[in-house]
């Protein structure tokens, strides 16, 4: 299934390749569940400890569940993460503080 967020994930993958492992600000693991039609369509693991991004459903320190269009809009800076949270388009499980650390990274890819 092709999703709008797939292009964003590829931009994140390219950005990860440019990260200097010795100079990282965020060292956590994230699970990103992308929904379409109210159901989880894809689950991505963003491992900033080992600088990896892959499709999977492993344990993470913070889990985000986001509507496909909203994820693309956040990354393209058409929608603020706070607004997506208020509208129920973005949900955070586990650690909100970690989610807030990640949002600027996603919103600038």
Tell me the pLDDT tens digit for each residue of 72-103: 999 888 998 889 999 999 999 988 888 888 87
Say what the pLDDT of residue 36 is: 95
pLDDT in tens, 28-58: 999 999 999 999 999 999 998 888 999 999 9
In sequence order, which residues have a C-beta less than 8 Å from that of residue 75 and are 6 or more positions away? 5, 8, 11, 106, 107, 109
SS3 50: coil
Q: Which helix (H) or strand (E) holds 77?
A: none
Domain ranges, ordered by start, for the chain: 5-19+29-106
Class of domain 5-19+29-106: alpha beta
Give dist(CA 109, CA 8) in Å, integer: 7
Phi and psi at 44, nearest 5°, equal -110, 140
Q: First-to-last CA distance in the chain?
A: 22
């Amino acid at each position: 299934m092709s999703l709008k967020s797939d292009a964003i994930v590829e931009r994140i993958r390219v950005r990860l390749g440019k990260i200097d492992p010795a100079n990282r600000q965020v060292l956590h693991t994230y699970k990103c569940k992308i929904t379409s039609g109210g159901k989880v369509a894809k689950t991505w693991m963003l491992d900033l400890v080992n600088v990896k991004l892959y499709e999977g459903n492993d344990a993470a320190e913070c889990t985000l569940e986001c509507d496909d269009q909203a994820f693309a809009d956040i990354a393209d800076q058409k929608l603020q993460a706070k607004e997506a949270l208020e509208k129920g388009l973005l949900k955070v499980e586990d650690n909100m503080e970690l989610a807030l650390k990640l949002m600027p990274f996603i919103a600038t890819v």
